[in-house]
Structure 1
């Protein structure tokens, strides 16, 4: 174990670059002391298994996935143990130093990107925590996985598949840390059946803003359990989780249907979900070559031989406007990794590291056409780049985390409408795209919509957040005061004072 921790510390040290070890904090100058001769009047950092340094090159922790902001931490914690996180958070609380977990360090598709697009995971002048060293899968048993929060979903999914199991919900981009995604929800093509990834959690270990390490679940410390899941990092840092697993099929059949009629696409999308005839469902609007938009249903049916997927049941609920596209059978492993070539191509073309002002909204079905009139009526292919507008139905009966705030609607159903933007790396007007996001956000809110917390919505005010959380605001405010009274955790969200 000690050898493994040492190896991780070396690797993480290479990631952040050589830096000066922090000895303590001077509360008068509000600056770190690193030289042994400058320790007069400082509050010494507790002994750590890992390292707390002023990195020579902090660039790996200055941006999130959106690449829209640069905010520099003053120190980076590379933890050698969960106890390091507990100690440093308690130290930060006592000295009023902001703290955030930032998974942006790392390269390629395996980097544990923070699941945010507007600086939410950044901590200007504070302590950035690198989650990668806490990346162990402790156990996979029948029906549950015990994992560190720094493990990526893709790593866990592939390991679980070795035992014939899979995750109920798997993101399209799965090289994200488990802890970061659980803090915002986590959605995928199976969410119509199973809800969010946060709905699959059996228990958590959490370091609160007080520096306490607490195990919580539906039965023990439930208030904390419900606070940190989809909690935007405001009440505690998830360090370990017990996640539900289900039996995996061996094969996935991929189906596609395209539309030029938006109303038929929306109707069929809802019909497929209601009928429960597929295992995985996504919908997209994509710019048409001659202008306007085309619509695509991407469906997956999971099966194991000798059984075969019931494609006829799918076709039976579709309208005549659906045009069948390509069909393919994939091994379940290949299905899990099917988007990786797309991400690699975006990276090779320079889109991955460029600015990405994504916007994700949840809209009631009766208001979705009006919202799409606004969004699709204004968006251009240049503003979207190679990314689509994802339009997928959801059922709130599958979403049981109280912090997952849902839109005003007449039924249990709603649509996720997400702008998965990849504008060109040299796009001339990214501020204009952000302003457009704000207009789209205001239009959606006027229609009773709610946002997904990772999107890029500029100029969110306290009034905006109160309106977003509605009746839950008072509860969340009390939870913040209880679990993070110094208000040091994840300040980039801008939710609380």
Structure 2
């Protein structure tokens, strides 16, 4: 439970355990007033159900999951209601104070972190909104879940299983907030069939940059619905969502195949996707101690015994170069949480709090070999750490949200090439890794590729963003002016500023 911020709390200037409460904003000093006194010119903070304070812990809300930047918000809102978010956004607009939702509230809170790796969710000198209090699953009925934006995907998935349902798309690290992930898309091993998590949203409740609360969907306020999903937090704050659910199978057969021939790996990856013979599909490149790379195709076949998975259909599309690896049947619940031991081991070894310069690019299938020549020709195991290098095929037709800007490709096929870097905490050259990311980004763009909004691409200019969005740039700029006219929302993305 949160501490309520009453008018008495504000005037006393303190909320025990939460930090120093703010009385109002001094526009001349561009700073908060925290004690009673002359109030001429001070913009009084509206009455709230939650708290708006100067954080007691200076490190709280200063970093995101990537740990590459430190930016200090001047105040933190712990909302007691959606009304608080509306009130604070209106207040911020009137006083030209930037606002961002940041699910990372200090050391040890990465399990509910925002989907931000390069300062996108940080707000220097502004107001950070903690989404965790908005953490209610309102209902799970046949085919749909009604949830607050602060709920994590793992929490919802486990609740849905109680009714024999599951999420169409589930990300590898599922302890992220739903609102933060929907703002960038949300990809997983079933995205070849079901698209992104944002493609499986029925409706949203959004607080715009004017403080208005709007319910939007494909049939109501469609422009806002399309803008907010995969919108990088630029047009509104997602506070509640209706998410599609599907019937769950009870069991997953996990199978793997390894390759030394990259061309065969890429060919089989596409063949599996085209034939639809696996329910969950991911591919990986793994460095070898003596140099070079091997490739791994990791698949999940969903079934409910006594029915058996379609392994024969899978084998029929694979090439002779595919070497079978381990296979196991897992309960669906265990499958959904299968990466948790890996994340726990990284935390225990001190990697989780290290700098993580991830890079996620989309490259047309026909251009992927040339891109991998560049990336794998330069990348080393030390530069990756224990993090995976994912190479997974996608079909443009499964990604229906306009916010996804997709690469030039033939036959609607492209690969997601993601460097999930987790270098050692004492890695000596983080700037060098970021410069390498920029080179890899430029190479992908030269091949017609596009970026995923998650990741660390340094020195993105207005020209870079215009080139990224292409013909959609003018339309998105107009939507920004409409829904966030003071340009206060999520400035860390740097798209329009």
With the length of structure 1 as denominator, give the TM-score of the two structures.
0.96
> In the alignment, does 2:463 pair up with 1:468?
no
Mapping of residues 345-494 of structure 1, within 5 Å: 345-494=345-494
Secondary structure, in 3 states, of the residue corresponding to 1:76?
Answer: strand
Give distance in 2, aligned partners of 1:289 and 1:314: 31
Contact 2:66 2:117 in 1 (8 A): yes
1:53–1:408 CA distance, 2 compared to 1 (3 A): same
Give distance in 2, aligned partners of 1:7 and 1:154: 28
1:16–1:250 CA distance, 2 compared to 1 (3 A): farther
Mapping of residues 6-45 of structure 1, within 5 Å: 18-45=18-45
**C-alpha deviations, 1:390-428, integer Å up to 9, x for none?**
000001111100010000112211000000101110000
Mapping of residues 69-80 of structure 1, within 5 Å: 69-80=69-80
Please identify, of 290-299 and 57-66, the stretch whose mean Cα deviation from structure 2 is larger: 57-66
Give distance in 2, aligned partners of 1:8 and 1:305: 54
- TM-fit CA distance, 1:106: 6.0
1:469–1:294 CA distance, 2 compared to 1 (3 A): same
Query: Partner of 1:91 in structure 2?
Result: 91
Mapping of residues 266-415 of structure 1, within 5 Å: 266-415=266-415
**C-alpha deviations, 1:41-99, integer Å up to 9, x for none?**
20101000000000121312011111000000000000000000000000000000000
Contact 1:17 1:57 in 2 (8 A): no
Give distance in 1, aligned partners of 2:437 and 2:410: 26
Structure 1 residue ranges, 4+ long, deviating more than 6 angstroms after superposition? none
Give distance in 2, aligned partners of 1:387 and 1:261: 22
Give distance in 1, aligned partners of 2:459 and 2:106: 29
Measured on the aligned residues, the alpha-carbon RMSD in Å equals 1.6
Contact 2:113 2:176 in 1 (8 A): yes
Give distance in 2, aligned partners of 1:294 and 1:338: 22
- TM-fit CA distance, 1:39: 2.9
1:224–1:342 CA distance, 2 compared to 1 (3 A): same
- TM-fit CA distance, 1:17: 5.3
Q: How many residues align?
A: 489
Contact 2:391 2:415 in 1 (8 A): yes
Query: Partner of 1:235 in structure 2?
Result: 235
Contact 1:18 1:55 in 2 (8 A): yes
Secondary structure, in 3 states, of the residue corresponding to 1:59?
Answer: coil
Mapping of residues 43-82 of structure 1, within 5 Å: 43-82=43-82
**C-alpha deviations, 1:209-230, integer Å up to 9, x for none?**
0010000000100000000000
Secondary structure, in 3 states, of the residue corresponding to 2:456?
Answer: coil
Contact 2:122 2:490 in 1 (8 A): yes
Query: Partner of 1:205 in structure 2?
Result: 205
Q: Which runs of 5+ in 1 are unaligned?
A: 10-14
1:16–1:268 CA distance, 2 compared to 1 (3 A): farther
- TM-fit CA distance, 1:458: 0.2
Q: Which runs of 5+ in 2 are unaligned?
A: 7-14
1:421–1:293 CA distance, 2 compared to 1 (3 A): same
With the length of structure 2 as denominator, give the TM-score of the two structures.
0.96
